[in-house]
Amino acid sequence: MEGLLERPKVCGACGRGGAAKRCQCKTIYFCNEECQRAKWGEHKEVCSVVQRRKVERERERLGRDHPGVGEACNKVGNLLHDQEDLSGAEEHYLEALRIIRLVEGEWSPNVAGLSANLGRVYRGLGRLDDAVRMHRQALRVYRRVWGDEHADVAFALNSLGCALRRKGQLDRAMEKLEEAHEMYVGLYGDDHADVAKVLTNMALTLQDKGLFGDALAMQEKELGILRRTLGPDDEGIAISLHNLGISYKGQGLLDEARARCEEGLGIVRRIHAGKNSLEGKFLQSIGDVCDDQGSPDDALRMYKEARRIYRKTVGPESVEMGK
């Protein structure tokens, strides 16, 4: 149990544990300045601190409405979203969207892509009406640009289904997800990561309906696809393991539930050098299992650590903090 509350600090350059020097962007550790210099040429391209400064330089050099500034804002938005600075991501995505609309017009695939990004941010912030609005906008633009039977349209349907599920509109969510699933299978066949991602969201919708047995069968299928297509250490596999753990718990299979959640937690800690809200979600779910297993002290420790992680990542006002 102690090991679940500890996470390694691995040097991003040499791979040694116990690294003490952390970049200002808080996503990578280094043993020392030598290791930081060795990795810097690669890391600076994904360092949100460096890229934010680049946005300001580009704005001064090119003017605030230049497409180069919009591109730089979108890049920073992506980095901040990955780091779960959702307010910062929203700010940069909105600025990028403003510029792209000026330059390319409303019916641009880039407008749709930025709308989808904002939809993800608003889902994370719990602003579900805004999320649905942005995902519908993305779907509308993609359909006008590409027509039906296109991967971007399937992606937008899947995202809209996720937002509708979060709002509790489960039947409408399933309609969108089934449409996305059919489109992806037509494009790629059954054994594809995008097909698996839609199955994930369909299974979550079944969970929300209380259909744990149906969800479990769908999640086992989805996890098999992801393991074959993504390799061992991928966030999609971790999320799949978490969802599968929830379904096992719903069926009363507590040992299986805990094993899946602990496997997923290990993946999250290997792929994210800094704290990540997904880590908190795993610890919270492990706490739920501990509670059901009759170990309230272990459960409480998991909950406290999960809350500490949520506070450091998504912030005290997030929907996760209220759980």
Query: Quick check: 318 pLDDT over 50?
Result: no
Query: Quick check: 180 pLDDT over 80?
Result: yes
Please compute the mean of the pLDDT values over residues 180-191 and round it to a whole number. 96
Report how far apart, in Å, the C-alpha atoms of 8 and of each of 17, 269, 297, 311 are: 6, 8, 24, 20
pLDDT band at 1 (very low <50, low <70, confident <90, very high): low
Query: Quick check: 316 pLDDT over 80?
Result: no
pLDDT of residue 314: 67
Helix ranges (DSSP H) in the chain:
33-43, 48-62, 67-82, 86-104, 109-125, 128-146, 151-166, 170-188, 193-208, 212-230, 235-250, 254-271, 277-292, 296-312
Tokens of residue 148, six digits? 């039906």
pLDDT of residue 84: 85
Q: What is the pLDDT of residues 261-309, one digit of tens each?
A: 999 999 999 988 667 889 999 999 999 999 999 999 999 999 999 999 9
pLDDT of residue 322: 45
Please compute the mean of the pLDDT values over residues 177-205 and round it to a whole number. 95
Handedness of CA 231, 235, 238, 242 (dihedral sign): negative
Query: Quick check: 143 pLDDT over 80?
Result: yes
Go through the domains of the chain in sequence order and give each one's CATH number: 1-45 (no CATH), 190-323 (1.25.40.10)
Tokens of residue 28, six digits? 């990578």
225: CB partners within 8 A, 6+ apart: 190, 191, 192, 193, 195, 196, 199
d(CA 206, CA 103): 42
Among 34, 35, 1, which Cα is nearest to 273's? 35
- Using CB atoms within 10 A of its CB, is residue 98 exposed (0-12), middle (13-18) or buried (19+)? middle
> Which residue's entry shows tokens 């779960």?
84
Among 188, 189, 162, which Cα is nearest to 176's? 162
Report how far apart, in Å, the C-alpha atoms of 140 and of each of 63, 137, 147, 232 are: 30, 5, 10, 36
pLDDT of residue 6: 53
pLDDT band at 317 (very low <50, low <70, confident <90, very high): very low
Handedness of CA 315, 320, 322, 323 (dihedral sign): negative
d(CA 247, CA 203): 9
pLDDT of residue 8: 63
Does this model's pTM top 0.95?
no
d(CA 178, CA 175): 5
d(CA 95, CA 80): 14
Tell me how far the alpha carbon of residue 79 is from its chain's centroid. 12
**AA letter at 223:** L
Residue 281 exposure: Cα atoms within 13 Å on the Cβ side: 18
Q: Are 109 and 140 in contact (CB under 8 A)?
A: no
Q: What is the pLDDT of residues 23-75, one digit of tens each?
A: 988 889 999 999 999 999 999 999 999 999 999 999 999 999 999 999 999 99
Q: Which residue has the higher pLDDT, 86 or 232?
A: 86
pLDDT of residue 20: 87
Q: What is the pLDDT of residues 198-237, one digit of tens each?
A: 999 999 999 899 888 898 999 999 999 999 998 888 998 9
Q: What is the pLDDT of residues 97-139, one digit of tens each?
A: 999 999 999 999 999 999 999 999 999 999 999 999 999 999 9
pLDDT band at 319 (very low <50, low <70, confident <90, very high): very low
